[in-house]
Amino acid sequence: MLNVAVIMGRLTTDPELKHTGNDIAVTSFALAVDRSYAKRGEERKADFIDVVAWRGTADFICKYFRKGQLMAVHGAIQTRSYEDRNGNKRKAFEIVASDVSFAGSKSDKDSGALKTEYTPINGYSQGTAADFEEVEDDDLPF
């Protein structure tokens, strides 16, 4: 069987770290995920998808992500049934995050909690588009 979910959206609230009775870290939040289409003459709509993260992933999210930041989530869809206050049976759908990543621009990160320094990889700097020049096929050695 295969159960894989990958979404990218913006956090609707600041994530809040909680702990279970067994002291396991957990956080639940919603991502606003734009739909891939829009009806003619209307604005694009968004779906608000519930996500839950456990242990180290929950710690990471609560430490580095804030409301409005763009987040990519990789995980699995999970359903659970429960009874509401009025005794009605309900079903909840959520994504259990196994991995999350920053998906926004550096300016998005600067407005949040994460500040990073640029460090070259293996002593080589990563260039920008302006650092490269177009090469003709005839100039290639292979």
CATH number (domain holding residue 100): 2.40.50.140
In 10 A of CB 61, how many CB atoms? Answer: 22
Q: For residue 11, give its domain range.
A: 5-139
Number of domains within the chain = 1
> Rounded to whole angstroms, how far apart are CA atoms 138 and 12?
52
Give 68-89 pLDDT, tens digit per residue.
999 999 999 999 999 999 999 9
Q: In the block, which residue shows the tokens 């049976």?
A: 89
Element (H, E) at 50: strand 46-54
- Whether the model clears a pTM of 0.75, i.e. scores above it, the answer is no
CA dihedral of 64, 70, 74, 77, whole degrees rounded to 10: 110
End-to-end CA distance of the chain: 44
| Per-residue model confidence as pLDDT tens digits over 88-130 | 999 999 999 999 999 987 665 554 444 434 444 444 444 555 5
Q: Which amino acid is present at 33?
A: V
Average pLDDT across the chain, whole number:
84
